[in-house]
Structure 1
């Protein structure tokens, strides 16, 4: 009988450490995209407060309540990491198998991301719980600052290997510069 081994979206590519930066997979059991119907954003926010303990964050932001996150991911769309019931208020689609998320952290994380992301991600301008849709190299991603030296990067699951490859190249360059 075959033995199946459960692997995350990144397979055996993570964890990865080069220099003082590490990448680790962020596992979430559920991800749901919420797109409020026209005029229902306030009602959706109130329903989420009752169901999850948090409201819809502003554009470009993320909120958390315990292990549950709610993050803006684009025009009138948010992603939450828990099932919700919003009948008549919003379109809700299960994206649990559609995305892969990793955390990239360490003292040189901003230098690594500066090589790949065309945004100013320095802590002075991109604060904790700020979130943006952007490109990382050639990949469309959602990127969120989660700590002083930590970010989460969410990408379509089919692009997980490319994400790790691009980050590994940038991490190698930054690590080499630091050792010179």
Structure 2
């Protein structure tokens, strides 16, 4: 009988460094989608703050910090990243485990914005896309969640099945940016 071995989405693909840029896989812990029931956003936000120390994020924003973050994930949707959801949240929202569904990477270094400018159709420069801002956007030909987590660092999430494509596309863009420097 074959033995199955659990692997992360980017196993064997990352980390990658090009010039002053680095791309590494992130393990955010548990990933849980929070879909508030009708008119329960305020209750969910209060329960999330009481249980996990952060409010429900506004559109295009994230709350919390590394290891305990809530990310806006679309209309009437947030993603709790890090802790397992407190059971009290189920009173206000549908909770769905997404832990194995996403490939999560961190792009960082001087020029990270330039790398993403080659792949994303939105303005991710720091003057408009500040720390804690997040967007659901296209990344080349994939849909992604992009969150600025530092001055020169971004957290990027795509469906797990697209991990190899994500690593390839980001590495290619990193090489192009490094070649211009």
Q: Give yes or no for the alignment of 1:173 onto 2:176.
A: yes
1:2 shift after superposition: 7.2
The 3-state SS of whatever aligns with 1:134 is strand
102-111 or 82-91, larger mean C-alpha shift: 82-91
Q: Is the 8 A contact 1:112 1:174 kept in 2?
A: yes
Task: Output one character per residue of 1:38-84: Cα deviation in whole Å (capped at 9) or x when no partner.
Answer: 10000000111111111101110011156211000101000002222
TM-score (norm 1): 0.94
The 3-state SS of whatever aligns with 2:90 is coil
Q: Is the 8 A contact 1:52 1:65 kept in 2?
A: no
Q: Give yes or no for the alignment of 1:132 onto 2:152.
A: no
1:23 shift after superposition: 0.3
1:174 shift after superposition: 0.8
> Which residue of structure 1 aligns with residue 69 of structure 2?
69
Q: Is the 8 A contact 2:29 2:67 kept in 1?
A: no
> Which residue of structure 2 aligns with residue 83 of structure 1?
84
Aligned mates of 1:137, 1:113 — CA distance in 2: 9
Q: Alpha carbon RMSD of aligned pairs, Å? A: 1.5
Aligned mates of 1:30, 1:67 — CA distance in 2: 9
Q: Give yes or no for the alignment of 1:161 onto 2:164.
A: yes
The 3-state SS of whatever aligns with 1:34 is strand
> Which residue of structure 2 aligns with residue 100 of structure 1?
103
Q: Is the 8 A contact 2:63 2:132 kept in 1?
A: yes
Aligned mates of 1:107, 1:143 — CA distance in 2: 17
Q: Is the 8 A contact 1:111 1:174 kept in 2?
A: yes
The 3-state SS of whatever aligns with 1:31 is strand
Aligned mates of 1:143, 1:50 — CA distance in 2: 27
TM-score (norm 2): 0.93
How many residues are paired up?
178
Runs of 5+ consecutive residues of structure 1 not aligned to the other structure: none
> Which residue of structure 2 aligns with residue 53 of structure 1?
53
